[in-house]
Structure 1
Amino acid sequence: MRVLAAMSGGVDSAVAAARAVDAGHDVTGVHLALSKNPQSFRSGARGCCSREDAHDARRAADRLGIPFYVWDLSDRFAADVVDDFVAEYAAGRTPNPCLRCNEKIKFSAVLERGLALGFDAVCTGHYARRVGDELHRAVDDAKDQSYVLGVLTAHQVAHSWFPLGGSTKTEVRAEAAARGLSVAAKPDSHDICFIPDGDTAGFLDARLGTRPGSIVDVDGTAVGEHDGTHHFTVGQRRGLRLGVPAADGKPRFVLDVTPVTGTVTVGPREALAVTRIAGVRPTWTGTTPAGPWRGLVQVRAHGAPVPATIEVRASAADGDELVVDTDEPLSGVAPGQAVVCYDGTRVVGSATIASTVAAPRPALVP
């Protein structure tokens, strides 16, 4: 089998490529250049698109004795990931750029080009498993990345390979060291790769400017001001700078972000609880589920899955809608995030959260 190994310059993708070689496949390594002006070096564990990362990927490929290429996908990354990220925040939603990158770049642009060049599959260092034609969680719950792969289609799953799905991170690092790979002890990348300094607010300010507005309590009382709704996400507690303390003295959290009026609504933690999630643009890793079904849902990359009743409903205006009723309330669920559905360990599909319904509040006892 001809395998295209996506090599980020980190330890996971290097070991994944090595295992593909060991399996006897014809492997070619490819590093994705996603930034027009990449930094020379990473800032610790921040980012993953520096020149240093490209050099590390090349050294790993040389060690494995496989061909290596760099593909410039910076224009498509800017349009499909970075511009989408900015537009979503401008609209009051909270996007997940890693999930969007998997959807639009790693398993769309790369796979499309790979198949056109005669490759059979794309191999990555994601912690997930492919069992037959099904996508499943990784064995290591602490490293499981199936959530950010929930956007894959059945076609993409069928042409993907995740060699690390049955291993732990400790095992992968030990294997890299034993193979003599220089990235064995390299820190994992985290945060948003195109904001290597971690200043998301500053990044958005530079693109959206200052848009002053009011912060109001649930009863509409003004309790503060802000410089832009893009500084806030549902569930946020820190950085609110409220001028009027809550009557009960407890912390307040962002409950709603409305860019049209420039209003950010805050309230008590219990007001964040929701039991119904409506998602748009659902994608399925296999066949579309029929009728309401019982499963598990997850709304954050490392969040705990919760039991739920899940249903796909047809909508003439916007296509299918995914409706999820959870058995227990979830907190801080923000529009723009993904809800990923599971049947046990199997990833069924995902949708982009459009709206939520608050959990019933307990009646006050007179």
Structure 2
Amino acid sequence: MTDTPQRTRPLRVLAAMSGGVDSAVAAARAAEAGHDVTGVHLALSANPQSFRTGARGCCTIEDSRDARRAADVIGIPFYVWDLADRFREDVVEDFVAEYEAGRTPNPCLRCNEKIKFAALLDKALALGFDAVCTGHYAKVILREDGTRELHRASDLAKDQSYVLGVLDDRQLAHAMFPLGDTVTTKEEIRAEAERRGLAVAKKPDSHDICFIADGDTQGFLAKRLGKAEGDIVDESGAKVGTHEGAYGFTIGQRKGLRIGTPAPDGKPRYVLDISPVTNTVTVGPADSLDVGALTAIRPRWCGAAPTGPGAYTAQLRAHGDETEVTAELVGEELRVRFAEPVRGVAPGQAVVLYDGTRVVGSATIATTERATADVA
């Protein structure tokens, strides 16, 4: 097997430049490798000031200027492409709709699937580009039979393959991740950026949702969905409190419940279930969060779909640990059973399957099954 198939010959590469240090160094590495690189910044908000402000995100005027300055230093052409309408429809509105339905979405996965490797890639290919380059930490490996695989980055501490688990064969064939090939820490990336004269070398990373300007997800949803008072109940159905919108809660949440009635055993309570139909939030003890199995829908495979049941590891959050599972595709549903119970699994999250470091694929969690005593 060989890494990064794009290196077999010089390619026309469109480098998505967010204005951060990772994408700037990725573009610089692609250009240094001899590719014909053009930088592009995605304008994802019709009003950039309504998204994150300061050096925190990827959607501000400041970020577009940082990206342009980096492109100038690298010596590549640079453009700004307006994808605000597509982003609002495919990412922001989807995010709101998922929460309204009582699910917990990951907007970064949706952005990678619908924007960076769909809208952006389609436009790039139509303009004659061969690949889209981003600053994600992951690897594309070309096998001898010509197929491509998505793998974890060499630096597992920075690995971002989870949010790329939505990419299919066609998208992987045109994806380039220059930061995933070598064991490189973030400090080394910043040092490299400084050596290259890139002003973003010391720019802080963005961690929050880019389209929620103040980081207040509940406040953002309240403005979009309005207040909807409902009951907080325990597992027996007894009312223990009230809320102003079920969308403001996530499975496994402990803080901010504002329950006046203490639990009989005096222990903390967690969100166990969110019902948008009855506008009810159910809370209970931590051990009631244990999940033994799940069913996921809308599977997407980074290669051929698996046949029959198989043993894998699964990741349930962008920065979560792997856990051993058995998984089987039944019709259009992915059935996953955990070797050991896991907690805090919420419908709407993505489950990403791995075979070693290889990303097998991902699916959206639809339902969960509470762990029982016979789940080992």
In the superposition, the TM-score normalised over structure 1's length comes to: 0.96
- Secondary structure of 1:183 counterpart: helix
Distance, in Å, in 2 between the alignment partners of 1:119 and 1:24 is 15
1:336 paired with 2:348, answer: yes
Task: Tell me which of 152, 157, 161 is aligned to 2:172.
Answer: 157
Structure 1 position 251 matched with structure 2 position 268: yes
1:148 match: secondary structure: helix
Letter in 2 for 1:174: A
Contact 2:19 2:66 in 1 (8 A): yes
Give the deviation of 1:41 after TM superposition.
9.4
Could you tell me how far apart the structure 2 residues matched to 1:194 and 1:270 are?
A: 34
Q: Which amino acid aligns with 2:198?
A: L
For residues 54 and 14 of structure 2, the distance between their equivalents in structure 1, rounded to whole angstroms, comes to: 28
> Structure 1 residue 22 and structure 2 residue 35: aligned?
no
Separation in structure 2 between the aligned mates of residue 183 and residue 40 of structure 1, nearest angstrom: 22
1:184 equivalenced with 2:165 (yes/no): no
Aligned partner of 1:50 among 38, 49, 60: 60
Identity %: 69
Aligned with 2:258 (options 222, 234, 241): 241
Structure 1 letter corresponding to 2:360: V
Structure 2, unpaired ranges of 5+: 1-10, 143-147
Q: Secondary structure at the match of 2:294?
A: strand
- What's the counterpart of residue 145 of structure 2? none
- C-alpha separation in 2, matches of 1:147 and 1:197: 25
Contact 1:284/1:349 (8 A) holds in 2: yes
Match of 2:301 among 274, 279, 284: 284
- Alignment gaps of 5+ in structure 1: 315-319
How far off its partner does 1:194 sit? Answer: 0.2
Q: Deviations over 1:2-57 (max 9, x none)?
A: 00000000000000000000110000000000011112995456432110000000
Alignment-mate amino acid for residue 306 of structure 1: T
Residue equivalent to 2:47: 37
Kindly report which structure 2 residues correspond to 1:199-278, keeping only aligned pairs within 5 A, or say none: 199-278=216-295
Deviations 1:71-108 (Å, cap 9, x if unpaired)?
Answer: 00000000000000000000000000011000100010
Aligned to 1:317: none
1:184 is paired with a residue of what secondary structure? Answer: helix
Residue correspondences, number: 358
Q: Following the alignment from structure 1 to structure 2, what is the Cα–Cα distance between the partners of residues 217 and 293? A: 37
Deviation at 1:311, TM superposition (A): 0.4
- 1:331 and 1:41, CA in 2 relative to 1: closer, same or farther beyond 3 A? closer
Given candidates 322, 344, 347, the residue that maps to 1:305 is: 322
Secondary structure in 2 aligned to 1:107? helix
Q: The residue matched to 1:233 in structure 2 has which SS?
A: coil
Distance in structure 2 (CA, Å) of the matches to 1:106 and 1:203: 24
Deviation string, structure 1 residues 100-121 (Cα, Å, up to 9, x no partner) = 0001000100000001110000
Q: CA deviation at 1:361?
A: 4.4
Aligned to 2:95: 85
Aligned residue for 2:28, secondary structure, equals helix
Q: Matches of residues 103-118 of structure 1 in structure 2 within 5 Å? A: 103-118=113-128
Aligned-residue CA RMSD in angstroms?
1.4
